[in-house]
Copies of this chain bind each other. A is one copy, B any other.
Amino acid sequence: MVYIGIDVGGTGVKAGIVDEAGKIVSHGSMPTVLTDTPDKQISDMARFALELLEKSEYTLEDVASVGVGVPGIADQKTGEIIFCTNLGWHHVPFRQIFQRVLDKPVYIDNDATVAGLAEAVAGVSAGADSSVFITLGTGVGGGIVLKGKVWSGFHGTGSEIGHMILKMDGEPCTCGNRGCLERYCSATAIIRMAREMLPDNPDSSIMTTCGGDLSKVNARMVIDAARTGDPVGESVFRRYVYYLSQAISNICNFLDPEVIVLGGGVSNAGAFLLDAVRKEVPKYCLFKDMEYARIELAKLGADAGMIGAAMLGQRQ
């Protein structure tokens, strides 16, 4: 059997046919037309998946299920997407609309959960007993895989690592709370910290790379500056590692997974970030003479969305 995985992004949709081992055997992409109704968008996705299938060596009979990863939240029981900010969807009966065109079991989950599942099936955490995936991007998302199965919680609202409170009464968050982990461990946090320091540090190399325009500062510029010893870059990076390591140790002390996988834009810093985090995390793990999670970088990149979405049906 094969599985169809659909990765719904803000600007485009990727669809892939994925085998039992999590390998993409065929794939394609189509743009998202934001002005279309959700009904039209979802029907188009299903038709696109059917076309992909027709062009492949497989038929509808070979397809076990369809999985969809969305930047939002879905009710697994009803197949409804509760909301999907990028697409402006609110309470959209995704499964029902999709199945009118392509009648297979349809599983939906959050994009970070789906990426975490992909890594657990065919990536860096393949074969692990348990893993927690953390996306370090504009926000911070999470995906939990336990005993080879997706864990999105009993009510489907779990793995929202970014909105665990890490510093009570800390920075205000877009969610309305204060001190969410996302305020300290996202690319946005790196940018905020750099912007706070730069006016008092006009000699920082970041001022050159951003052309003196603070609105152009991004996380990569800051981390690259840290690599070359720029004091602002180093200070921000050191604080970022301090925050992220406490967030990771919280997961170790609470859930104690076998592997913690770092993905998302900030993880492109590679070994520079990984080495620093691996050195810092043990300071906060409770039991000093016991092992704790192996910390790794995600390796599937842009394919993770399709692979993980496809595998949802295999890993419930």
A residues whose Cβ falls under 8 Å from a Cβ of B: 73, 75, 82, 129-130, 142, 144, 146, 151-161, 163-170, 175, 177, 179, 184, 243, 246, 249-258, 283-287, 289-293
In the complex, how many angstroms separate the beta carbon of A173 from the nearest chain B beta carbon?
10
> A255 — which chain B residues lie within 8 A by C-beta?
144, 151, 153, 158, 254-255
In the complex, how many angstroms separate the beta carbon of A293 from the nearest chain B beta carbon?
7
- Are B157 and A253 in contact, with the CB atoms below 8 A? yes
- CA gap between A255 and B255 in the complex, in Å: 9
- Are B290 and A256 in contact, with the CB atoms below 8 A? no
- CA gap between A170 and B283 in the complex, in Å: 16
> A287 — which chain B residues lie within 8 A by C-beta?
73, 82, 157, 160
Tell which of B152, B243, B286 touches A168, judged by Cβ atoms closer than 8 Å: B243
> A169 — which chain B residues lie within 8 A by C-beta?
167
Copies of this polypeptide in the complex:
2
Do A130 and B154 form a contact, CB below 8 Å, given A168-B243, A246-B165, A254-B164? yes
> A166 — which chain B residues lie within 8 A by C-beta?
165-166, 168
> A243 — which chain B residues lie within 8 A by C-beta?
168
> A75 — which chain B residues lie within 8 A by C-beta?
290
- Are A256 and B152 in contact, with the CB atoms below 8 A? yes
- CA gap between A73 and B288 in the complex, in Å: 12
- CA gap between A130 and B73 in the complex, in Å: 20
* Residue on B nearest A153 in the bound complex, by CB: B256
- Are B163 and A286 in contact, with the CB atoms below 8 A? yes
- CA gap between A253 and B140 in the complex, in Å: 13
- CA gap between A302 and B173 in the complex, in Å: 41
* Residue on B nearest A175 in the bound complex, by CB: B286
Tell which of B151, B165, B168, B290 touches A156, judged by Cβ atoms closer than 8 Å: B290
- Are A154 and B129 in contact, with the CB atoms below 8 A? yes
- CA gap between A129 and B291 in the complex, in Å: 28
- CA gap between A169 and B167 in the complex, in Å: 8
